Structures are given as C-alpha cells and as structure tokens.
Chains A and B, each alone.
Chain A
Amino acid sequence: MAKTNVTEDSLNMEIKSTQDMYYSNVGKINSEAERVLADKVKTAKKALSDFLSKGANVCPSCGDKPVGMVVRDTTDGKIYEVGCVNCTPVIVDSNSEAATKDTPINERRRVSYSSRGYTPEIAVANWNGKKFLIDTKNTTL
C-alpha cells in the first residue's frame, strides 16, 4: 500500500481527530485512559511542530530543537514561526553596536529566539540565518 504523503493539512486532521476523541471521552473514562488520549493529542501536535520546523538548526542559545507553528492564521494567510520555547527574549539596544551610555532607554527593543515567515520554509530559513523576531515597538524599561 502506498504511503500517504504527510502534509500540514493531514497533520491538522490528525490533531482534530485525536482532540475530538479526547473531548468526547474526558470525564467519562478513568484517568489512565484519559491520559492515553491526551498523550495522543500532544503527539499529533508535536508531529505538526516537527513538520513545520523541518530543516531548522538547533537553538544557538541552548542547543535544543526549536518548535514550528502557525502563529497566526487569518483570511489574509498564515504566518509561521520557528522558535525556542526554552530561551527567554533578550532586551537589546536598537543600535546595540553603537550603543553608548547616552543611548536613550526608549531605544531598547526585545529580541525573541524565534523567526517568522509566510511559509514554513521561509521561517526555517530566517531561523537558520538568525534573523530573530524584534518587537516593532520600542520597549521602555
């Protein structure tokens, strides 16, 4: 039998299937059986994350594998994100290379260990290129 191609849609269908099974049984079965169904939901979500972060390098900060996700899904399209769930964002001066003691604090911005793109491939490429997400608004400390 030919193996079905794995796609984002097929993985989302698997997530929905496992979720429906979990939701329809939660509270009606014993906790051990409930845990089994919950784990299937998590496994399905991890499969999608792995699919969307395929080819991504490990986190340059902690060395763990990043996650992949559809961070925003609107009528205008999807935004994908690849990022590290372990590492907290860092605050840097917007002109960090040229920062001096006179750099105003309202010029600081938050940089996350994550990258975005309109396709998973672009998000992965940005991650691998260390083009991390920078808040568009200045962060006042």
Chain B
Amino acid sequence: MASYNKFNSFTEALAEKIHNLGADQLMVALTNVAPVATNTQLSNLTEITYTNLSSRVLTTLSSSQASGTYKLVVQDLTLTSTGGPTGPFRYVAIYNNTATNKELICWFDYGVAGVTLADGESFLLDFDGTNGLLQNT
C-alpha cells in the first residue's frame, strides 16, 4: 500500500488562500525522481512524459468538515497508456492545477520497483472512498 506524504508548504498554502479544495482542479503528476517535503510547486518535480497517458484530472467528490475535522474525498482515477508505454514512474504527486503556481499537496511512493505501463495497460489510483484523500484537524 502506498503511503501518504505531505508537502510541508501545503498547510501554509491552505491557510493563505492558495487552495480552494472544494472547487479547484486537482491533478496527478508522475515522477521517477523522489519528491521531498520541502518542494512547493509542480515545477520542483521532474515529471515523466505523458504523451500516451489518459487524463490526470482528479474528480473531487466532497470537501467538508464535521466537528472541526476537514476531509477531502476524491474519486479513484484509472491511468491508461494508449499508443505506447508510459513511465517508468515511482511517485504519484497531487497538485492544484488552478492555483497560480500549481502548488503541491501530497505524494505517494509506489516502491522501488516502479511502474511502467505498456500500451493498453492501466494503473488504478485507489483513494479510499469516503475515508478521503486527506484530513485536516
């Protein structure tokens, strides 16, 4: 299971009106170079080539709080390579595509073996449904 890693700047960006997670467009970035927690924006990452890859746009399903705990829920995303291979990549990062500098939110590490999608292969990002992508307490 890939574990959640937070970019440090995300918490400040949340507090300073960089993100509106209820309405902004969130996207997935793939990289084979390890992100670090001090990265702040998409240009800090070395992305792979997406020529053959399907849409990387996430669908936000719920953005709400209860008793002071905020939760962001997103739809699972299937990435499919068509017309050729995609990758290799090891890390899946999520960023805000609406924010001015495409600020980073978090990333997942899929392990040392990495992932290469052959033509026609798919990769499922399973975001845990109602339990959410992230919480802020």
Q: Chain A: residues with CB nearer than 8 A to chain B?
A: 19, 22-23, 26-27, 31, 34, 37-38, 41-42, 45, 49, 62, 64, 66-67, 69-74, 81, 83-86, 88-89, 112-114, 116, 133
Query: Residues 60-83 of chain B: 1 if any A CB is under 8 Å from the residue's CB, otherwise 0?
Result: 111110110101010110100000
Give chain A residues whose Cβ lies under 8 Å from the Cβ of B66.
62, 64, 85-86
Q: State the CA gap A102–B129 with chains docked (Å).
A: 32
Q: Judge whether B62 and A86 touch: CB under 8 Å.
A: no
Q: Is the interface of A mostly helix, strand, loop or mixed?
A: mixed
Q: State the CA gap A112–B20 with chains docked (Å).
A: 27
Q: State the CA gap A107–B17 with chains docked (Å).
A: 44
Kindly state whether residue B3 has any CB partner on chain A within 8 Å.
Answer: no
Q: Judge whether B78 and A85 touch: CB under 8 Å.
A: no
Give chain A residues whose Cβ lies under 8 Å from the Cβ of B88.
none
Q: Judge whether B76 and A42 touch: CB under 8 Å.
A: no
Which 3 residue pairs spanning A and B have beta carbons closest together?
A: A83-B130, A38-B23, A114-B130
Give chain B residues whose Cβ lies under 8 Å from the Cβ of A69.
61-62, 73, 75, 129-130
Task: For residue B129, give the distance in angstroms from its CB to the closest CB of chain A.
Answer: 5
Q: Judge whether B76 and A67 touch: CB under 8 Å.
A: no
A85-B25 contact in complex given A45-B61, A67-B73, C-beta closer than 8 Å? no
Q: Judge whether B23 and A22 touch: CB under 8 Å.
A: yes
5 A–B pairs (Cβ distance < 8 Å), ordered by A: A49-B61, A62-B66, A67-B130, A114-B129, A114-B130
